[in-house]
Amino acid sequence: MVLPHVSAGHNLARCLLRNDHDAEDAVQTAAVRAFQAIDGFRGSDGKAWFLAIVRRSCLNLLRQGRPATIWDDGAEDQLPDLRTPDPQQFLMKAFDAELVNQAIGALPPDLREMIVLREVEGMAYREIAAVIDHPIGTVMSRLSHARRRLQELLLEGGIEGLP
């Protein structure tokens, strides 16, 4: 129930906390909690369930100031709509690992986790909603926000990187 999702949990923790040591700590704590709570788990989606626990233990670490990141869950929801980056420009550009990881890293954490859960883990909206404990509507608007922001960051990063 827990073991198959440890890597997904670690990847999520690593993306939220941005360092290996804290990520391992968070996943370890989450696993202990998961084993304690496993009898109460009645759902069918073990991955979303475990990732939700990992996410909570990440938030706890962040609240304790480890690492020093400001996390405001849902801060992005209040921002005015970003303009959609020019799709043509986006389709023409070449990307590499450095640029992509830099751009993902530059996203605020509540948007970064959207990209990780949807694009990397390929989770359905309702699973993501279970992980972040928000309604599906919030998932949709945050994900949309995250995508536009990431496209923008990718385009910006590229212009500097070009010779």
Binding residues vs other proteins (CB under 8 A): 2-3, 6-7, 9-11, 14-15, 20, 23-24, 27-28, 31-32, 35-36, 38, 84-85, 87-88, 90-91, 95-97, 99-101, 104, 115-116, 118-120, 124-126, 136, 140, 143-144, 147, 150-151, 154
Give the residue among 61, 65, 76, 67 at the shortest CA–CA distance from 112: 76
Question: Least distance from C-beta 75 to other proteins, angstroms?
Answer: 21
Give the residue among 101, 103, 110 at the shortest CA–CA distance from 59: 110
Nearer to other proteins, 72 or 121 (CB): 121
Question: Least distance from C-beta 121 to other proteins, angstroms?
Answer: 10
CA 163/CA 156 separation, integer angstroms: 14
CA 50/CA 105 separation, integer angstroms: 23
Nearer to other proteins, 72 or 101 (CB): 101
Residue that is written with structure tokens 């279970």 in the block: 130
